[in-house]
Chains A and B, each alone.
Chain A
Amino acid sequence: MQTTTLVIVIAGLSLISYYTGRTRAQAYRLDGRLLALPNQYGYLTAMWSALPAIILLLAWLAFEPGYLNDQVIANLPAAAQQLPTEELALLVNNVLLAVGNGGLSPDPVIEDAAAAYLAAREQSRMLVTGLILLLCLSGIIFSLTRYLTRLHARKRVETVIRWFLMLCSGVAIVTTVGIVLSVLFEAIRFFESVPILDFMFGTTWSPQTAIRADQVGSSGSFGAIPLFAGTMLISLIAMTIAVPVGLLTAIYLAEYASPRFRSAAKPTLEILAGIPTVVYGFFAALTVAPFIRDLGTSLGLSVASESALAAGIVMGVMIIPFVSSLSDDVITAVPQAMRDGSLALGATQSETIKQVIIPAALPGIVGGVLLAASRAIGETMIVVMAAGLAARLTANPLDAVTTVTVQIVTLLTGDQEFDSPKTLAAFALGLMLFVSTLLLNVVALHIVRKYREQYE
C-alpha cells in the first residue's frame, strides 16, 4: 500500500479506536466509578492505535531505501559485488532507473536486480501494512478490555502530550545547537590555518588566497577589524536615525495621538517592518546612494557612490518600527495610575512623560533598542546591495565600507571549495557575528525581564 493510504488507514482506525474507547468508558461509568472523563479514554485508545503505527511507519520510511539497496546488491552477480564503491553505486542507480521504467532494461543483470528490488519492495510493504493494521487493531481490542477502565486516562494522555510538546521545543533548541556547532567546527578549522589573534586584531582584510604556488598578489590576509569597524559604522548610523525617530514616534503614538490616528498609524508603521530587506536594498542602492553622492558633490565633498551613509540611513529607516513598536508597547504598559499621580501633582503632560513615563519605561525601551541594534548588525541584504566591498578602515561615513555580512556573502557565493581558508573565513566571521549579536540579545532580554518584574 502507498504511504498516503497507510496514513489514511491509521487515521481511520484511530478514530474507530477513539469511539470504541469512549463508548466503553461511558458504558462503564453507568455502573462504576471512572477515573477520568470518557473523552479522555477515547483519546487514550486512539493514541494506543496511532502512535506505535506512526512510529513504525516513520521508521520504515527512513530505513526502506537502505534496506532495498542492500537487497539489490545482494542479488547482483558476485562479479558486480566486487566492483569499487563508485561503480557499484552507479550500477545500483541504473537498477533504480530500471525500476522506474517498470523493471525493463536491455541489460539482463540489471533487469534481474530490478525484479529482485520490486519483489523485496512488495514484501516489505506487505509486512509493514500488516504490522500497522495489527498495531491499530490492538488499540481497538485494548479499548474493549476491562483493563482500560482501571487506568487513569487523563494522566496518560497528558504525559504523551507533554512529551510531544517537549519534542517540539527540542526541535528549536537542537537546531540552534546544531548551527552553532557546525559554525564552530568550521571556524576551528579556519583557525588552524590562520591564527585567531591575527584574525581578531588584524587590520587588513584581503581574503584572496593563492590557488597556485607561484601566483602573485594573493597573499590572503584575514584581519577582521575593518569588517567589524564597517559593521559598527553602518549600525551606528542606522541607530542614530532609528532610535530618536522611533522613540519620538512611540511617545507620540502612546501619549498624544488620538485613538483614530493611532489605529491608522501603528499598522502603517508595521508595514515598514514587513518590506523585504532586498527591496530596501534597491532603494538604498538606486535612490539614496546616488542622491547622497550628488548632494555631497554639489557641496564639494567627495562621496563614494556606495557610501556607508546611504546604507546606514536606509537600514535606520528599516529598524524604526522595531524601536517604535516595542517602545510604544512598554510606554502603554506604564500604569495609568502613574500618569494620574503625576498630573494630580500639577505636572504638565510633557513633564509627566519626561520624568515619570520614560524613566518607568526605560528598561523596556533600552531592551527594544538593543534588539534593534542586533538586528542592524546582522542585517545583510541592504549592505550587500548598498555598501561597498572594499575593506577600508575608516570612520568617514561618506567612504565606502564593507561589513561582516557582506564579506560572508561574497566569500560563499559561487562555486567554492570548502577547504581553503578563504571560504572557512566566512564561518569564523559568522561565529564572531553570532557571538556579538547573542551578547546584545542576552543583555536586551535581561533588561526587558527586569522591567517586567517591576509592576507585578
Chain B
Amino acid sequence: MNASVTEDLGTSSVTEFDVRDPDRSTQVKGFEGTIGENTLDNPKISTRNVNISYGEKQAIFDASLDIGRNEVIAMIGPSGCGKSTYLRALNRMNDTIVGCRVTGDLTIDGEPIYAHNMDPVLLRARVGMVFQKPNPFPKSIYDNIAYGPRIHGLTRTNAELDEVVVTSLQRAGLFEEVKDRLDAPGTGLSGGQQQRLCIARTIAVSPEVILMDEPCSALDPIATAIIEELIDELRANYTIVIVTHSMQQAARVSQRTAYFHLGKLIEVGETNQIFTNPRHELTENYITGKFG
C-alpha cells in the first residue's frame, strides 16, 4: 500500500482518533473497567483485552466485548473514541494501515482472528464491511455485485451468478429500482442507492457478520430510513456491528449498545437500558447530549 493510506482514510479511525493529540487517551476519570453485560454465552465474535495502537498512540485500551449471533450491536461514542478502530480490527482491515498494532484475544466462532493460519482475505469474506461513504466500483451495477462471487468462485454457471446478483439486490431492497439497468454504472446511482448497492455487494459473498462504519452519515433522512429498515431485516441472517454517530439510529436498529469513550469501552448493555437507564456517568452525559 502506498504512503498516503494513513492520510486519506476518510472513514477510518485515524480521522476519529487524533493521533497528534498527546496523552488524550489516558484522561478518562473514574474508569474502572467496563460496566454491563459485555460477555455472552456462545458469541459469534469474542474479543478479550483488546489493545490497538497506531505507532506510539494507543487507540483502544483493554476492551473486552462479545458480539452475539443474529444481533445488531451499535457502537456509539464521541469522535475519536476508537469505535471505528475497534470495528476495523474485527475483519483485519487495520492490516492495511502502516504502524497499526492489535493485541488481545479476538475470535470468530472460536477461531483466533489474528492467528498466523487465519488468512485475512478469507476472514473478510466471512466478515464483510460497509463504509461511511458509498464506494461502488467504477463498474456496472451487475459487475459490482458479481465482483465478490467471481473472485471467490462461489458460482459455477452464469445463471447461478445472475441469481446471486438478483437475490443480493433484492435483499438490499434495491432490485426493483435497478432491475432494468443492471448494465448502468454503479457510480451513477444516488447516494442512498449506492450505499444499498454496497450492502448488496457485501451480502453477495454470503458473509456471517457485516460491519457497518457509519453507513448512513452521508445519506439523507429518507435513504437513512430505508437502510435502517434493511438492517433490521438483515438481522435474520447476519450478525451486524454498526458504528454510528446518531443515537436515534442506535436506538432504532440495535438490540445491544456499546459506549466507547477515549479508547475505553465504558458500558455495554441492552439498547433500551443504555438509553433509558445508563449506569455510567459518562454514558449518561453522552446520551443526554452534555458532550459529543
A interface list, Cβ under 8 A from B: 253-257, 259, 262-263, 332, 335-348, 351, 355-356, 359-360, 454
The answer for the CA separation of A60 and B40 in the assembled complex, in Å, is 94
A259-B98, A336-B9 known; A345+B147 contact, CB < 8 A:
yes
B interface list, Cβ under 8 A from A: 1-5, 8-11, 91, 93, 96, 98, 121-126, 128-131, 133, 135-139, 147-148, 151-152, 187, 198, 201-202, 205
Taking each of B1, B96, B126, B133, which has the highest tally of chain A beta carbons within 10 Å of its own beta carbon? B1
The answer for the CA separation of A133 and B148 in the assembled complex, in Å, is 79
Contact A336 B137 (CB under 8 A): no
A259-B98, A336-B5, A337-B11 known; A346+B125 contact, CB < 8 A:
yes
Interfacial chain B residues near A262, Cβ < 8 Å: 2-3
- The contact of B3 among A259, A335, A340, by CB within 8 Å, is A259
- The contact of A344 among B3, B91, B152, by CB within 8 Å, is B91
Q: A363: nearest residue on chain B (CB-CB)?
A: B138
Interface secondary structure of A, over-half rule = helix
Contact A344 B98 (CB under 8 A): no
Taking each of B98, B126, B129, B135, which has the highest tally of chain A beta carbons within 10 Å of its own beta carbon? B135
The answer for the CA separation of A454 and B136 in the assembled complex, in Å, is 12
Q: A357: nearest residue on chain B (CB-CB)?
A: B137
- The contact of B202 among A259, A335, A344, by CB within 8 Å, is A344
Q: List 13 A-B contacts (CB under 8 A).
A: A259-B2, A259-B3, A332-B2, A335-B135, A337-B131, A340-B93, A340-B135, A341-B131, A343-B96, A348-B121, A348-B151, A359-B137, A454-B138
Interfacial chain A residues near B130, Cβ < 8 Å: 344
Taking the closest CB of chain B, its distance from the CB of A245, in whole angstroms, is: 20
Interfacial chain A residues near B2, Cβ < 8 Å: 253-255, 257, 259, 262, 332
The answer for the CA separation of A356 and B1 in the assembled complex, in Å, is 14
The answer for the CA separation of A254 and B1 in the assembled complex, in Å, is 7
The answer for the CA separation of A351 and B153 in the assembled complex, in Å, is 13
Contact A346 B205 (CB under 8 A): yes
Interfacial chain B residues near A360, Cβ < 8 Å: 137-138
The answer for the CA separation of A344 and B129 in the assembled complex, in Å, is 6
The answer for the CA separation of A355 and B4 in the assembled complex, in Å, is 21
The answer for the CA separation of A359 and B152 in the assembled complex, in Å, is 19
Contact B131 A343 (CB under 8 A): no
Contact B124 A341 (CB under 8 A): no
Taking each of A254, A335, A341, A355, which has the highest tally of chain B beta carbons within 10 Å of its own beta carbon? A341
Taking the closest CB of chain B, its distance from the CB of A436, in whole angstroms, is: 31
- The contact of B121 among A337, A338, A347, by CB within 8 Å, is A347
Q: A335: nearest residue on chain B (CB-CB)?
A: B135
Contact B131 A339 (CB under 8 A): no
Closest 9 CB pairs of A and B: A346-B125, A259-B3, A337-B135, A344-B129, A346-B124, A341-B135, A345-B148, A360-B138, A351-B151
Taking the closest CB of chain A, its distance from the CB of B7, in whole angstroms, is: 9
Interfacial chain A residues near B129, Cβ < 8 Å: 340, 344
Interfacial chain B residues near A346, Cβ < 8 Å: 121-126, 128, 148, 151-152, 205
The answer for the CA separation of A256 and B198 in the assembled complex, in Å, is 26
Contact B137 A356 (CB under 8 A): yes
The answer for the CA separation of A344 and B139 in the assembled complex, in Å, is 17
Interfacial chain B residues near A348, Cβ < 8 Å: 121, 151
Contact A339 B11 (CB under 8 A): no
Contact B198 A341 (CB under 8 A): yes
Contact B1 A255 (CB under 8 A): yes
Contact B135 A338 (CB under 8 A): yes
Interfacial chain B residues near A338, Cβ < 8 Å: 135, 137-138
The answer for the CA separation of A3 and B1 in the assembled complex, in Å, is 60
Contact A345 B98 (CB under 8 A): no
Taking each of A341, A342, A344, A454, which has the highest tally of chain B beta carbons within 10 Å of its own beta carbon? A344
The answer for the CA separation of A336 and B88 in the assembled complex, in Å, is 15
Taking the closest CB of chain A, its distance from the CB of B66, in whole angstroms, is: 22
Contact B137 A339 (CB under 8 A): no
Contact B151 A332 (CB under 8 A): no
Interfacial chain B residues near A359, Cβ < 8 Å: 137-139
The answer for the CA separation of A343 and B119 in the assembled complex, in Å, is 12
The answer for the CA separation of A256 and B3 in the assembled complex, in Å, is 10
Q: B98: nearest residue on chain A (CB-CB)?
A: A259
The answer for the CA separation of A296 and B96 in the assembled complex, in Å, is 48
Beyond the given A346-B121, A351-B151, please list 4 additional residue pairs across the A-B interface where CB-CB is below 8 A: A340-B93, A343-B93, A344-B124, A345-B124
Contact A342 B1 (CB under 8 A): no
The answer for the CA separation of A345 and B145 in the assembled complex, in Å, is 10
Taking the closest CB of chain A, its distance from the CB of B125, in whole angstroms, is: 3
Taking the closest CB of chain B, its distance from the CB of A50, in whole angstroms, is: 46
The answer for the CA separation of A213 and B205 in the assembled complex, in Å, is 83
The answer for the CA separation of A344 and B96 in the assembled complex, in Å, is 11
The answer for the CA separation of A341 and B145 in the assembled complex, in Å, is 12
The answer for the CA separation of A375 and B8 in the assembled complex, in Å, is 34
Taking each of A253, A342, A359, which has the highest tally of chain B beta carbons within 10 Å of its own beta carbon? A342
Taking each of A263, A332, A337, which has the highest tally of chain B beta carbons within 10 Å of its own beta carbon? A337
Contact B202 A336 (CB under 8 A): no
Contact B131 A355 (CB under 8 A): no
Interfacial chain B residues near A344, Cβ < 8 Å: 91, 93, 124, 128-131, 202
Q: B124: nearest residue on chain A (CB-CB)?
A: A346
The answer for the CA separation of A454 and B8 in the assembled complex, in Å, is 18
Contact B151 A355 (CB under 8 A): yes
Interfacial chain B residues near A337, Cβ < 8 Å: 10-11, 131, 133, 135
Contact A345 B201 (CB under 8 A): yes
A340-B96, A359-B139, A360-B138 known; A345+B125 contact, CB < 8 A:
yes
